[in-house]
Amino acid sequence: MKIIIVGATGTIGKVLTTELKKRHEVVSAASKSGDVRVDITSSASIKEMYAKVGKFDALVSTTGKAAFAPFHALKEEDFYTGIKSKMMGQINLVMIGKDFINDNGSFTLTSGILATDPIKSGTGLSFVNGALNSFGISAGVELTRGIRINVVSPGLVEDSAAGLGAAFPGHVPVPMSRVVSGYVKSVEGFGTGKVIEIY
């Protein structure tokens, strides 16, 4: 399969890229490096990426930013950070990409455990994660041509846990191998409209 990974240079994306490259043609994408550059906060940039890459079989997104700040410090603009990047950035990868993807292709987005298991200062991420889960569940109903969509919702990954542990009391960090397996299940498996929780 020809697979685009947006966020391929990040903590999760680089390990996933190594795994999927064993069996597939991978096109890595990120805003500062990669085979193609894309800024997911810009629809024009996303269209440019798809035009450059051409037809493909799977798109995996392991990217997206959102505000991490105490609830009472959050300003309206902080919510828009997550809406513009992690939420609409990933949704636009699907809404624009559906016209470029091959029949029976798949989209895999990333949300996170904070959708349903909140922590202090996590509201800016939690509400976006919840929206992405709902988007995936609903889009799975209407995508045509055999195109599938799933959302991987990882817990705090072991590789990111150093220094963050105190912010996630009682959370058991998840091994990267389990997180990568969630993406592999989405891309190489059969389900659609699923939230694949790796907790």
Ligand X SMILES: NC(=O)c1ccc[n+]([C@@H]2O[C@H](COP(=O)([O-])OP(=O)(O)OC[C@H]3O[C@@H](n4cnc5c(N)ncnc54)[C@H](OP(=O)(O)O)[C@@H]3O)[C@@H](O)[C@H]2O)c1
Q: Considering the rule CB under 6 A, would residue 157 count as an interface residue with ligand X?
A: yes
Q: Considering the rule CB under 6 A, would residue 82 count as an interface residue with ligand X?
A: no
Q: Considering the rule CB under 6 A, would residue 83 count as an interface residue with ligand X?
A: no
One-letter identity of residue 175? P
Q: Sheet harboring 2-6: ordered strands across?
A: 36-37, 25-30, 2-6, 56-61, 101-110, 148-154, 194-198
Q: Under rule CB under 6 A, how many of the chain's residues touch ligand X?
A: 28
Q: For the chain, how long is the longest CA-to-CA vector?
A: 47
Which H or E run contains 188?
helix 176-188
Residues between 25 and 64 with contacts to ligand X, criterion CB under 6 A: 30-33, 38-41, 62-64
Cα-Cα-Cα-Cα dihedral of 112, 117, 120, 123, to 10°?
60
Residues between 96 and 155 with contacts to ligand X, criterion CB under 6 A: 110, 112, 154
**Measured from the CB of residue 143, what is the shortest distance to ligand X in angstroms?**
22
**Measured from the CB of residue 177, what is the shortest distance to ligand X in angstroms?**
14
Site for ligand X, rule CB under 6 A? 6-13, 30-33, 38-41, 62-65, 85-86, 110, 112, 154, 156-157, 160
